[in-house]
Structure 1
């Protein structure tokens, strides 16, 4: 592996890959940053499935206290359901997507558990992060002595297509779970995978590490497809050359299609009763299909056998499901075995794969990246052989690279990112960023509907003052300054409202597609001189999170500021 000297000032870096379907952690010490250790294997109870990640599931007691996480939570809730004692308990699974799908995310946003009971999302996310943090600390206790939480630089991974609100929500959950703000960095998932593949020894990955090489990273998780494009620079850092894109095209879409197929075979009523009364068997269906999903091939012929709990067959019969002779020659269901033509299984993958391939084709038509050298496929869904085959067919003239353990590439890369946070030296802005200003009204430019009067002078309200453009290349840690002033000498506090837009030049903050990003509030000097209140706002771009600081011009004093996105 390539040599790397850690820039981390703490004893070790620990990364948490908080996934839609599975979560896990890994860590390495400052003196051996590439000696990355993953968390111990978790077992799915009596099942054969052993994973280096744990299902992202949280079980809370009826009094809303934390009970368990992952396989343990699934198994406990399944046992409770078997005995009809699960009523009042809260079981949350695959809830990460709520941060992507909620338009107006706030710290008070609620999510529903498996039975439809609501709870603040922040509470659930906090329990999940706390569990991973505590499990990590317990693991460290078995390996080394005298390591405290203050010795750890934490990293939490998020999709690159998440906005600032979702990132800040994860940061808030982490601080609520006992991780200090100054001990936490946010890593972008496809970036992390790219970072790790720079040091992998696999010969297939050599093309990625040559100075000047360009490649696309396609990170396919359970919830999202997350895509970025990198170029290796002469100094060893990575330059993003196209803004991150993606969507909800992860492996969970295949799971949904599979459950829909089973529902059609067994009837809606049978499936609903099955999910309610046979919870352990319901989880087993997902676990068994997870293994089958990764192994099925595009050239498989004949029939595939999938184990189906006998309890679902009994409920299907109870609710008058189609009898065996009516299922057709391509599918049969006998006892606990469902046999179907492999072509029917492959059809379950068509939806997300077709959307994904079309999206990548559209990206490659952009002249900026049409000369890339390879496509790097990572993530749990990236392990799927059907996905691999679809990419090889669609992009036969390009090199497709799937690293060893593609499901762990993000996690290990996040650890390395914690040691070298500046390793991605240039990023491309996904949005136009700006602030709200109220300049003098110009009747030749501004519509009359935006005219207002302030201190006897006509002004134009709600104007979008652009600070960063869509697609702009931004070096790591670049500060962009913008000036501010008080309205009158009596003003003692200022608030800067920040906005983002996918449009290049929105005129007003009320323009369609322009979204409120957050605000920065700070105190102004107590002075009778208006100029004493003049200030400069420094917004830092080019990192994984947007940061801000404000300096009073006359005194050069920096005032405490935080961008409040939630």
Structure 2
């Protein structure tokens, strides 16, 4: 049965959550609107901060002292700033009181005893820019499990990363559901009941005739102990479930260069946020931007008055410059409107936040890291103001000056307490003297008692130049590859792509290429992810999960490339001279075998087509009830699973019906579907012919 069968219908609503390092938001569209015009995509209402509306809100979140969610985005920033200001005012009042006559303590106690006690500033947990904590090399984390990761708040206290991510996703999810409830009218009176039934049906899907997940009790006890939170019940009880819950496909964006483990972590966080597993797909950020750019009118022939979309055969590179990462992918447009990936996604943690880091490294070099930390702790509201100020000013640095006037110095205010702290810790030495001793008198000036003015060119050299060179050097290396050397179009998207200095550097470095900043480039990932949600790929996925036969997609597909070698551990007959004695063993049948041989299923750079790249393997179960298949990833075509560069990335668990008359060890078949943004697996018990969807668990 094909994916286009009437049993598999498109989702009525697609909502894409762009969970960014610096800023986050969502976009959505209804299926009828998509069919009339795919670019008819709505974004979240503007997020307001001091009267200014923005398309995204800062990725920061606030919890109270008990670890309960309080607010997200600008609301979290405002609340935290207010708490900081109160704490600062209280500290100043206490210092004044020490210099004045004391009141009668008993009178003070009588006045304050009935006042409700508010949590102190130090009790609140404020997290910002925490997404990149997932982008850590395994060698850095060593044996620490990502699902056990704890993140540190501004006050030094910690919360489980899974809780922080899930509450952030929950906020954006419920914000959209609230918007949908207000802006639409349903004509089915039992919508809420239907939604509740859908949720319950999903949880008890083992009773259906479709593919089903193994029961929850299959998890080993060790795995339960390792889960720091457990899967908490969603904040939306059945009485609060949106009437649209059963109709929404949620798309969550992730960097293409992330590991399978990090991607699954995001899925688990979304599930904990109340999104049903089968109502969720992950979209790769640069790929989403490519889907949007493919739909935009960006090209114009010399003799043509019309601006057209990319023609078949066109090739282009997408450089997604986000806050945390820069992801680069390249595509060729095929005759059937499909995209063919020309090289595996590449990139690194060289996004816009690297500019921020270098700016504060500069501040630390002037004042000293210890003094800056004291300023951060003792004057938190002024510290937040400095963070905000740089975030705004860095977007204008390097802009063309139409009058060719000398660029004005960049001014940072509200630094009075920092100056005082510096003088106090340095025997009343002035900041001006420090700057002069550093040889920076012409580059940085102390203006009045609370401002610094930094020469723009000096700021560019110290703060922007390094991260921008990292990006251009990576692109230069990519263009040495034969398969993409002839690409003539570079599309810059993502928040950091709006940096004038980055734009000019790429244009200067690649004069033979056409560098384009598509309109709405900062939200290209968010809106492109909506197009991905409507794509035929997700109908095929839906069909697989229903246990239907699928046919390859013929239009609007993405042909991806494998980033590595993938395989399973297997036993083969031992051959003297070919296999190492270390792996010689005797199996249960008494045969001499070589164990832990890497059986390659998918090769590096192999093209992966949805509906075509399906690998089937047969395995023996370990008991009559359970089976476990380990999946390995290797950088090269290794011989053994413990060779250097080869590591286990996940395992597939299968559980069988409890039947004492069946054989002790069972034969089962696993189908691995490659080509999706996540690997999909199904299993068949060849003894009973029972089939079910199985989960590739990468959170080891």
TM-score (norm 2): 0.75
2:66 is the alignment partner of 1:63:
yes
1:359-382 superposed Cα distances (whole Å, 9 cap, x missing partner):
111111110111112111100001
Q: Equivalents in 2 of 1:8, 1:192: separation in Å?
A: 22
State the partner residue of 1:172.
Answer: 268
SS in 1 for 2:614: strand
Larger radius of gyration: 2
- Given the alignment, which residue of 289, 313, 316 partners 2:390? 289
- Given the alignment, which residue of 290, 315, 333 partners 1:232? 333
Query: 1:432 deviation in Å?
Result: 0.8
Aligned residues of 1:216 and 1:375 also touching (Cα < 8 A)? yes
Q: Equivalents in 2 of 1:527, 1:468: separation in Å?
A: 37
Q: Equivalents in 1 of 2:344, 2:389: separation in Å?
A: 37
Aligned residues of 2:27 and 2:43 also touching (Cα < 8 A)? yes
State the partner residue of 2:447.
Answer: 334
* Structure 2 portions without partners, runs of 5+: 1-7, 88-119, 139-143, 187-242, 302-306, 538-555
2:448 is the alignment partner of 1:315:
no
SS in 1 for 2:632: strand
Q: 1:358 to 1:256 in 2, by over 3 A?
A: same
2:25 is the alignment partner of 1:24:
yes
Aligned residues of 2:19 and 2:25 also touching (Cα < 8 A)? yes
SS in 2 for 1:294: coil
1:113-144 superposed Cα distances (whole Å, 9 cap, x missing partner):
22332221100001000000111112223322
Aligned length: 556
2:329 is the alignment partner of 1:216:
no
Q: Which structure has more strand as a fraction of its residues?
A: 1
| 124-133 or 91-100, which deviates more | 91-100
* Structure 1 portions without partners, runs of 5+: 1-6
Q: 1:382 to 1:207 in 2, by over 3 A?
A: farther
SS in 2 for 1:459: strand
Q: Equivalents in 2 of 1:531, 1:450: separation in Å?
A: 26
Q: Equivalents in 1 of 2:146, 2:611: separation in Å?
A: 27
- The 5-angstrom pairing of residues 90-239 of structure 1 reads 90-101=125-136, 103=138, 105-146=145-186, 147-202=243-298, 209-239=310-340
Q: Which structure has more helix as a fraction of its residues?
A: 2
2:450 is the alignment partner of 1:343:
no
Q: Equivalents in 2 of 1:358, 1:238: separation in Å?
A: 26
Aligned residues of 2:671 and 2:682 also touching (Cα < 8 A)? yes
State the partner residue of 1:548.
Answer: 681
Q: Equivalents in 2 of 1:554, 1:460: separation in Å?
A: 27
SS in 1 for 2:599: strand
2:470 is the alignment partner of 1:470:
no
State the partner residue of 2:644.
Answer: 512
State the partner residue of 2:92.
Answer: none
Q: Equivalents in 1 of 2:185, 2:52: separation in Å?
A: 32
State the partner residue of 1:394.
Answer: 509
Aligned residues of 1:532 and 1:554 also touching (Cα < 8 A)? no
State the partner residue of 1:3.
Answer: none
Query: 1:289 deviation in Å?
Result: 1.6
State the partner residue of 1:53.
Answer: 56
State the partner residue of 1:324.
Answer: 432
SS in 2 for 1:15: strand
Query: 1:91 deviation in Å?
Result: 1.2
SS in 1 for 2:395: helix
Q: Equivalents in 1 of 2:123, 2:360: separation in Å?
A: 25
Aligned residues of 1:237 and 1:425 also touching (Cα < 8 A)? yes
SS in 1 for 2:295: coil
Query: 1:346 deviation in Å?
Result: 1.1
